[in-house]
């Protein structure tokens, strides 16, 4: 099995590309969805997060807005949260890999792959990449997204050029969806050929 990590900055089209891999038959592990499950109603991290960050959870599980206020911009607090969240995500990922042990390729969709050291846990890395103006227009078109919030998120993420420089595959997402589908098919073909030979 080859594990392919997929990452990219906010609004670059990562979710869209992950869905393209899934449609091509590649099993996809969505790290963000795993975090949401673990923090959601009856999620198994809710009690530990309430103990570490009192007042940030309720009947619906973690209130991510409140938890974000408590940890984003406070590095030691963020590290304490990661110490709770990351081992649980690693367990979920291990279970996913066991469940798909027969798959030739699996995709691990990890938004903060580089920022959280996840690059060491995957065989290859694909990064989605669109021009900054396209990225900005996509993100600002989302409801609840103001320019300042976008800038603040960008400032906390590794620069896109650096992600691209560290990638094994760069998947362009600034053009048509068809172009992106072709790029996804090329990545799958390349990894399949490598496995056979």
Ligand X SMILES: CC(C)(COP(=O)(O)OP(=O)(O)OC[C@H]1O[C@@H](n2cnc3c(N)ncnc32)[C@H](O)[C@@H]1O)[C@@H](O)C(=O)NCCC(=O)NCCS
Ligand Y SMILES: Nc1ncnc2c1ncn2[C@@H]1O[C@H](COP(=O)(O)OP(=O)(O)OP(=O)(O)O)[C@@H](O)[C@H]1O
Give the annotated binding-site residues for ATP. Answer: 11-16
DSSP letters of the chain? -EEEEEE-STTSSHHHHHHHHHHTT--EEEHHHHHHHHHSTT-TTHHHHHHHSTTSEETTEE-HHHHHHHHTT-HHHHHHHHHHHHHHHHHHHHHHHHHTTT-SEEEEE-TTTTTTTGGGG-SEEEEEE--HHHHHHHHHTSTT--HHHHHHHHHHSPPHHHHHHH-SEEEE-SS-HHHHHHHHHHHHHHHHHHHH-
Chosen from ligand Y, ligand X, none, partner binding at 192 (C-beta under 5 to 8 Å by type):
none
User: According to the binding rule CB under 6 A, does residue 5 interact with ligand Y?
Assistant: no
User: According to the binding rule CB under 6 A, does residue 175 interact with ligand Y?
Assistant: yes
Chosen from ligand X, ligand Y, none, partner binding at 104 (C-beta under 5 to 8 Å by type):
none
Number of residues engaging ligand Y in binding (CB under 6 A)? 16
Chosen from ligand Y, ligand X, none, partner binding at 77 (C-beta under 5 to 8 Å by type):
none
Residue with token string 């992600």: 163
d(CA 171, CA 7): 10
Chosen from ligand Y, ligand X, none, partner binding at 116 (C-beta under 5 to 8 Å by type):
ligand X
User: According to the binding rule CB under 6 A, does residue 12 interact with ligand Y?
Assistant: yes
Nearest one of 34, 158, 136, 180 to 94, comparing CA atoms: 34
Q: Which of positions 49-68 make contact with ligand X (CB under 6 A)?
A: 64-65, 67-68
d(CA 116, CA 10): 15
The binder of ligand Y chosen from 62, 111, 160, 167 (CB under 6 A): 111
Shortest gap between Cβ of 102 and ligand Y (angstroms)?
28
Q: Which of positions 98-117 make contact with ligand X (CB under 6 A)?
A: 111-112, 115-116
Residues 119-148: x/- map of binding to ligand Y (CB under 6 A)?
A: -------------------x----------
Residues counted in the chain = 197
- Residue numbers at the binding site for ligand Y (CB under 6 A): 8, 10-17, 111, 138, 173, 175-177, 180
- Residue numbers at the binding site for ligand X (CB under 6 A): 10, 31-32, 35, 64-65, 67-68, 71-72, 78, 81-82, 85, 89, 111-112, 115-116, 153, 156-157
């Amino acid at each position: 099995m080859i594990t392919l990590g997929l990452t990219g900055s906010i609004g670059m089209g990562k979710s869209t590309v992950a869905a393209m891999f899934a449609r091509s038959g590649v099993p996809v592990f969505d790290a963000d969805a795993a975090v949401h499950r673990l923090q959601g109603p009856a999620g198994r991290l809710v009690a530990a997060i309430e103990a570490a960050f009192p007042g940030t959870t309720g009947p619906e599980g973690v209130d991510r807005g409140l938890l974000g206020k408590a940890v984003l911009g406070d590095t030691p607090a963020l590290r304490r949260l990661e110490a709770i969240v990351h081992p649980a995500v690693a367990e979920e990922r291990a279970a996913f890999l066991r469940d798909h042990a027969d798959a030739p390729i699996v995709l691990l969709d990890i938004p903060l792959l580089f920022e959280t050291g996840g690059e060491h846990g995957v065989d290859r890395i694909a990064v989605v990449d669109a021009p900054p103006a396209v990225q900005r227009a996509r993100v600002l078109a989302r409801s609840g997204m103001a320019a300042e919030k976008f800038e603040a998120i960008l400032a906390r993420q590794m620069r896109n050029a650096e992600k691209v420089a560290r990638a094994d595959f760069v998947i362009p997402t600034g053009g048509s969806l068809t172009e992106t589908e072709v790029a996804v098919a090329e990545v799958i073909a390349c990894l399949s050929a490598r496995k056979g030979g």
